[in-house]
Amino acid sequence: MHGETDMNEGGPSGRFAPSASPLVHPHVVTERSPATTSDLSFRASAAKALGDVQLRANFRRAMDGLMAKRAAQFPDPGDLQELRDLGTAVRARSLLRLPELLEQLEASCSRNGIQVHWAETCDQANALILGLLQAKGATRLVKGKSMVSEEMHLNAFLESHGIESLESDLGEYIIQLDHETPSHIIMPAIHKNKGQIARQFSQKIKDAKYTEDVDELTALARKVLRQKFLEADAGLSGVNFAVAETGTLCLVENEGNGRMSTHVPPLHIAVMGLEKVVARLEDVAPLYALLTRSATGQPVSTYFNLISGPRAEGEKDGPREVHLVILDNGRSRIYGDPQLQATLRCIRCGACMNHCPVYTRVGGHAYEAVYPGPIGKILTPQMEGVGLRHDLIHGSSLCGACSEVCPVEIPIPDILVRLRREATHADAGSKVAGKGTGRTAAEDLAWRAWAAVLKRPGLYRFSVWFATRFRRFIPGGLPLLKAWTMSRTKPLPAPRSLQERLRSEGLPRV
């Protein structure tokens, strides 16, 4: 049971290949050492995914359904825009006061009996959690869904220390059985169809018979997981919103596994990225309204759980201890840039991936990142280094569907363009991880040649004459041209330059 490791689409080696030591996560780059070389290729894995007919059908069907359901929840464009503006303002205000709110959150939580811990890196957060579990002698952990714990590769880490770390969200449980990673931040097993899940359950769950009936499959998981909840020593969850004034951790879910994980075991550990804080509890209401509608097209989730403390005096259940781990992992660096800071407004609804023409075609695993889709394309390079994830920044047509549906109006295309520049230019004032490391020799040479030609009028005129007269004979396999002609027809220069045509029309030379 490892949260990372092999994917069934068999991405290129490197990123998710099982490592000899589960402690080594070569792709988790701490902010002090942004990686500079890339062994990851979105281009290659996307090309492979495009050839997988079953995968494409699974995603196409799911994304079409999600887009329609979201649209049905926002029948009035005026109301939607007002709600988005409010949600955006709530998140922007939170970020403007971030350090102050985090301190207030810590104080409020402490007052409520929730113990707060800070981690700069994933390694620190993992060690903290291991320490909390070991202090209680816990060996069985049940987990509610948490993308931050995916970011930390917590399951693999805990398993390597002899602690069972069991995903209890049905989708997460399904992919954990196959040692896969989530292919969508809301619906982690969306790449699988029920036939695949039926086979998997019948092979991997004791005494399970083969069935493709979704109710029967769900009942099977319920039976296994209820026993696990009953026996668990500890529960772990993410946090959708953390409220500074009241010291409240908000959890949004449909299944009830989040409540099971946070209320049944004697110990509850919550993990959150440091951007999740909001000032007041009522600020959460518009964000919640946007989150469920944008994510799955539901006006409301089954459960909206507000946790403000462990079992109190006189209470008969609930955890004896609640801990909150606040993780940085590069977020404070992103925060340092006024434009890129908008990345941290994200409420993780996944609408950007549901509406992305690229994501729909290649699926989540092709991104070889914890966070796929448009938000992943701006978040992953900023966390791991723009040079290392150069291909992600460029794997977009900049069509803008993501920012159009984003409930908190993150300008994803603008940020992508900015990161493209950061990848090739090492500006002194920039705080972007791996800035300038995406520059390639070929690209460099091309720009130099371009500059050299433009600075010399004679050479420029000759080049234009040559390109127009021999336009049909320019080989499509030339180093830079090849990147274009691989999947497109070769561009054909005009037979005469604009200057020549103007002169032949009798217009003065410009």
Partner 1 sequence: MSDARPDSRSAILARLRAAGSGGPLPDLDTAVLERRRWTPAERVRRLRQGMEAIHAEFLEARPDDWPAVIRAFCEREGLRTLLFGPTTEAGRRLAEAMAGSATTLRPYDAPVETFKAELFQSVDAGFTTTLGGVAETGGLLLAPGPREPRLLSLVPPLHLALLRASTIHDTLWSAIRALGWGQAAPQNALMISGPSKTADIEQTLAYGVHGPKRLVVALVDDLPGSPK
Q: Which of 327, 370, 1, 325 is nearest to 163 (CA)?
A: 1
Give, as one character, the DSSP assignment of residue 491: P
Cβ at position 425, least distance to partner 1 in Å: 21
Cβ at position 307, least distance to partner 1 in Å: 6
Do residues 185 and 145 touch, judged by C-beta distance below 8 A?
Answer: no
Cβ at position 356, least distance to partner 1 in Å: 18
Of 312 and 507, nearer to partner 1 (C-beta) is: 312
Do residues 372 and 180 touch, judged by C-beta distance below 8 A?
Answer: no
Interhelix angle 98-112/77-96, nearest 10 degrees:
80
Q: What does the buried/exposed string (b/e) look like for 161-175 if buried means 16 or more CB atoms within 10 Å of the residue's CB?
A: eebbbbbbbbbbbbb
Q: 449: Cβ–Cβ under 8 A, 6 or more apart, which residues?
A: none
Cβ at position 258, least distance to partner 1 in Å: 9
Q: Which pair of tokens denotes residue 495?
A: 């037979």
Alpha-carbon distance of 308 to 249, in angstroms, equals 6
- Spatial strand order of the sheet with 234-237 comes to 114-119, 321-327, 267-273, 234-237, 140-143, 164-167
Q: Which pair of tokens denotes residue 46?
A: 């996307």
End-to-end CA distance of the chain: 69
Cβ at position 30, least distance to partner 1 in Å: 12
Helix then strand then coil, % of the chain, to nearest 5: 50, 10, 40
Of 80 and 405, nearer to partner 1 (C-beta) is: 80
Helix (H, G, I), strand (E, B) or coil at 301: coil
Cβ at position 266, least distance to partner 1 in Å: 8
Of 268 and 390, nearer to partner 1 (C-beta) is: 268
Of 231 and 443, nearer to partner 1 (C-beta) is: 231
Do residues 407 and 290 touch, judged by C-beta distance below 8 A?
Answer: yes
Of 300 and 483, nearer to partner 1 (C-beta) is: 300
Count of helices and strands (H, E) across the chain: 23, 10
Cβ at position 392, least distance to partner 1 in Å: 24
Cβ at position 172, least distance to partner 1 in Å: 8
Cβ at position 175, least distance to partner 1 in Å: 10
Of 252 and 386, nearer to partner 1 (C-beta) is: 252
Cβ at position 251, least distance to partner 1 in Å: 9
Alpha-carbon distance of 316 to 17, in angstroms, equals 46
Biggest CA–CA distance in the chain, Å, is: 95
Of 150 and 255, nearer to partner 1 (C-beta) is: 255
Helix (H, G, I), strand (E, B) or coil at 436: coil
Of 110 and 499, nearer to partner 1 (C-beta) is: 110
Of 330 and 395, nearer to partner 1 (C-beta) is: 330
Alpha-carbon distance of 487 to 404, in angstroms, equals 28
Of 195 and 491, nearer to partner 1 (C-beta) is: 195
Of 25 and 184, nearer to partner 1 (C-beta) is: 184
Do residues 172 and 286 touch, judged by C-beta distance below 8 A?
Answer: no
List the alpha helices (DSSP H) in 161-270: 170-177, 194-204, 214-231, 257-263
- Provide the residue type at 464 as one letter: V
Do residues 4 and 181 touch, judged by C-beta distance below 8 A?
Answer: yes
The dihedrals phi and psi of 135, each to the nearest 5 degrees, come to -60, -25
Cβ at position 51, least distance to partner 1 in Å: 22
Give the H/E segment covering residue 323.
strand 321-327
Cβ at position 461, least distance to partner 1 in Å: 50
Of 46 and 221, nearer to partner 1 (C-beta) is: 221
Cβ at position 438, least distance to partner 1 in Å: 24
Of 109 and 378, nearer to partner 1 (C-beta) is: 109
Which residues does residue 322 pair with via DSSP β-bridges, in sequence order? 114, 268
